[in-house]
Amino acid sequence: MAKNCVVILAGGEGTRMKSKKPKVMAEIIFKPMIDRVMESAMGAGIEDICVVTGYRAEVLEAHLAGRAQTVRQEQRLGTGHAVMQAMDFIKAHSGGNVLILAGDAPFMDSRTIREALEAHVNNRFVQTVISAKVDDPFGYGRIVRDADGNFTAIVEQASADVDTQKIREINSGAMWFDADTLCDLLGRIDNKNSKGEYYLTDTVHIALSMGLRVGAYAADNADAVLGANTRVQLHELNEILRKKTLEKLMLEGVSIPCTSSVIIDPDVKVGADTVILPGTIIKEDCAIGEDCVIGPNTVLYKTKVGNGVTLNAVQAEEAEVKDNANLGPFVHLRPNTVIGEHVHCGNFVEVKNSVIDHHTSVSHLTYVGDSDVGSGVNFGCGVVTVNFNGKTKNRCTIGNDAFIGCNTNLIAPVTIGDRAYTAAGSTITDDVPSDALSIARERQTNKEDWVKKTNPYREKKY
Ligand code: UD1
Ligand code: CA
């Protein structure tokens, strides 16, 4: 049997978004709408994807980066015209079914797509429109049915009379077609309407007038049809997904005492009894364990967090934090960082491309970059790993239970042995053996009566 495929309409400018980007690049919880639509299609088992691009096509093509075929719609002459641009792609799937999706309806889900296909196949329809009942149908095409409930037409907002405007069942813009019938129908639609556009929705009355079997499958997920034409609607869609995600987490045992200003990517897993506090943003590819306190004011990206971890005002990207670590306030973890169990990092500590082993403490004002730090190490206040000489980056190695005195500069590459001490204010350029104390600073000199002799002060003003 021929493979099923999908054509995603993404050519529109989205004038009302007032954006330099194509509308489908607008993000719903940190992910462009087009990616959510593609994932839903793939989740329904559809592998062959063709995206119709138009406005700022190059931006979309660069974003897709070969994940889908693309065809360009040079002039935006309507949804029917957009599908026509994919004619070769559709013909290549002759004998199969073609799904049309709107790239600006990010909540169309895999289950709805699959169930609509079942209805399409089981009823032997040549065209199945995915519809849904919504509270506010304004702006959408209405699904008109006869007294027996048979689908008879789609009427757009602009052409709807008062009674038709009251219909709450609307066209999602998504439809299944028999591929060969779609090719035939596309050849029959015209642009003889007030806007001079080729409407894909015209295929409904054309097919019906030809005596073909056309159906409307009403999705039970009413959100599936929601689209965003303005930034206000974009905000509304963001809120829908944000609230749904937080509610799901709460029902799984996560505490979110105040949900406002908490944004979590829907794919993020969070363990039971973890508390999420305001100002927390958890982006893609993160996982949080149980019994953690995350936030306030914490932003995580591609970061794994173990159990019992505290992150207070932490920003972390591409990092891992192991069980019972306590970070914050004001800690920045940069890519390729692993924070071990029971590690403490306090205020104004930055860690980059480093591994810090268990029970180490980095309490204040310290930069650890390109370093391998053992367990039980104590960093005094203001330690700096001097990892960059202007040309190359070098690593520091610090052994277990070492004690790095306040304001030590560790000039990489350098190794501090196990249990070794560095004196406060030292600038360490050479390796320090295990169990040694290294003092690398000028010995103190007191010049007696220097002030009396040189009288360095100006006259007292107070
Ligand atoms: C369309 C439907 C309407 C439905 C609604 C659901 C038609 C005529 N109307 O209206 O019945 O309720 O979707 O959201 O189909 N696009 C192109 N090229 C074009 C025009 C549009 O690629 O020339 C793309 C857009 O980028 C968008 C999608 O097609 O992703 C839908 O177009 P849009 O203009 O938003 O249609 P609606 O007016 O919302
Ligand atoms: Ca739309």
155-180 pLDDT, tens per residue?
999 889 999 999 999 999 999 999 99
The reply to whether 214 and 257 lie within a common domain is: no
Q: Which residue has the tokens 């999420």?
A: 276
- Asked which of 225, 251, 272 is the last residue of a domain, the reply is 225
Hey, whose CA ends up nearest to atom 31 of ligand 1?
A: 102
The reply to whether 217 and 254 lie within a common domain is: no
Please give the pLDDT value at position 416: 98
- The two tokens of residue 60 are 């979309």
Please give the pLDDT value at position 79: 96
The reply to whether 172 and 196 lie within a common domain is: yes
Hey, whose CA ends up nearest to atom 34 of ligand 1?
A: 12
Q: Which residue has the tokens 């054509």?
A: 7
> 60 exposed, middle or buried (CB, 10 Å; 0-12, 13-18, 19+)?
buried
Burial 81-91 (b: 16+ CB within 10 A, else e): bbbbbbeebbe
pLDDT tens per residue across span 182-210:
999 999 999 998 889 999 999 999 999 99
Cis peptide before 137 (omega within 30 of 0): no
- Asked which of 225, 248, 271 is the last residue of a domain, the reply is 225
* Residues 87, 320: Cα–Cα separation, whole Å: 48
Asked, for residue 147, whether it belongs to a domain, the answer is: yes
- pLDDT, average across residues 329-344: 98
Asked, for residue 384, whether it belongs to a domain, the answer is: yes
Cis peptide before 296 (omega within 30 of 0): yes
Count of domains for the chain: 2
Distance between Cα 84 and ligand 2 center (Å): 18
The reply to whether 78 and 130 lie within a common domain is: yes
Asked, for residue 458, whether it belongs to a domain, the answer is: no
Share of the chain above pLDDT 70, in %: 100
What's the distance, CA 314 to chain centroid? 19
Measured from the CA of 10, which atom of ligand 1 is nearest?
26
pLDDT over threshold 90, residue 137: yes
Report pTM.
0.91
Please give the pLDDT value at position 92: 97
The reply to whether 154 and 215 lie within a common domain is: yes
Contact indicator for 290, 273 with CB cutoff of 8 Å: yes
- pLDDT, average across residues 124-130: 98
Measured from the CA of 78, which atom of ligand 1 is nearest?
23
> What mean pLDDT, rounded, does the chain reach?
96
Ligand nearest to the Cα of 228, by number: 2
The reply to whether 308 and 325 lie within a common domain is: yes
Model confidence at 1, pLDDT cuts 50, 70, 90, reads low
Hey, whose CA ends up nearest to atom 29 of ligand 1?
A: 9
pLDDT over threshold 90, residue 292: yes
* Residues 63, 236: Cα–Cα separation, whole Å: 24
Distance between Cα 14 and ligand 2 center (Å): 8
Ligand nearest to the Cα of 54, by number: 1
pLDDT over threshold 80, residue 460: no
The reply to whether 149 and 216 lie within a common domain is: yes
The reply to whether 26 and 43 lie within a common domain is: yes
Helix (H, G, I), strand (E, B) or coil at 141: coil
Contact indicator for 4, 99 with CB cutoff of 8 Å: yes
- The two tokens of residue 17 are 């978004």
Measured from the CA of 81, which atom of ligand 1 is nearest?
23
pLDDT tens per residue across span 68-123:
999 999 999 999 999 999 999 999 999 999 999 999 999 999 999 999 999 999 99
What's the distance, CA 205 to chain centroid? 40
Asked, for residue 459, whether it belongs to a domain, the answer is: no
The DSSP H or E segment spanning 82 is helix 79-84
DSSP-assigned states of every residue in 21-37: S-GGGSEETTEEHHHHH
Hey, whose CA ends up nearest to atom 28 of ligand 1?
A: 102
User: Other C-beta atoms within 10 Å of 210: how many?
Assistant: 13
Ligand nearest to the Cα of 171, by number: 1
The reply to whether 434 and 303 lie within a common domain is: yes
User: Using a 6 Å CB cutoff, which residues line ligand 1?
Assistant: 9-12, 23-24, 52, 54, 73, 76-79, 81-82, 102-105, 140-141, 154, 156, 170-173, 199-201, 227
Q: Which residues contact 440 (CB under 8 A, 6 or more apart)?
A: 422, 423, 426, 427, 428, 429
Q: Which residue has the tokens 């609230």?
A: 243
- The two tokens of residue 207 are 């097919």
The reply to whether 313 and 194 lie within a common domain is: no
Q: Which residue has the tokens 């990489």?
A: 412
Q: Look at the chain and count its residues.
A: 462
Going by C-alpha positions, the residue among 244, 287, 253, 271 that lies closest to residue 28 is 244
Q: Is 235 a catalytic residue?
A: no
> Which among 13, 51, 56, 79 is the best mutation to test ligand 1's pocket, defined by most ligand atoms within 8 Å of the CB?
79
Asked, for residue 369, whether it belongs to a domain, the answer is: yes
User: Which phi and psi angles does 184 have, rounded to 5°?
Assistant: -65, -45
Distance between Cα 161 and ligand 1 center (Å): 20
Measured from the CA of 171, which atom of ligand 1 is nearest?
12
Please give the pLDDT value at position 224: 93
- Amino acid letter, residue 455: N
Distance between Cα 104 and ligand 1 center (Å): 8
The reply to whether 266 and 136 lie within a common domain is: no
Distance between Cα 314 and ligand 2 center (Å): 39
Distance between Cα 284 and ligand 1 center (Å): 29
The reply to whether 102 and 143 lie within a common domain is: yes
Instruction: Identify the DSSP state of 284.
Output: S
Contact indicator for 317, 335 with CB cutoff of 8 Å: yes
Domain extent at residue 46: 5-225
* Residues 295, 275: Cα–Cα separation, whole Å: 8
CATH number at residue 73: 3.90.550.10
* Residues 426, 439: Cα–Cα separation, whole Å: 6
pLDDT over threshold 90, residue 37: yes
Model confidence at 457, pLDDT cuts 50, 70, 90, reads confident
Asked, for residue 276, whether it belongs to a domain, the answer is: yes
Measured from the CA of 154, which atom of ligand 1 is nearest?
11
User: Other C-beta atoms within 10 Å of 4: how many?
Assistant: 21
Q: Which of 63, 205, 358, 364 is catalytic?
A: 364
Asked, for residue 457, whether it belongs to a domain, the answer is: no
CATH number at residue 302: 2.160.10.10
Going by C-alpha positions, the residue among 416, 410, 420, 378 that lies closest to residue 397 is 416
Ligand nearest to the Cα of 26, by number: 1
- pLDDT, average across residues 18-39: 96
- pLDDT, average across residues 214-239: 94
- The two tokens of residue 201 are 């929705």
* Residues 87, 25: Cα–Cα separation, whole Å: 24
Please give the pLDDT value at position 171: 95
Going by C-alpha positions, the residue among 315, 329, 364, 363 that lies closest to residue 343 is 363
| Torsional sign, CA 112, 235, 198, 192 | positive
Asked, for residue 455, whether it belongs to a domain, the answer is: no
pLDDT tens per residue across span 354-380:
999 999 999 999 999 999 999 999 999
- pLDDT, average across residues 397-420: 98
Distance between Cα 55 and ligand 1 center (Å): 14
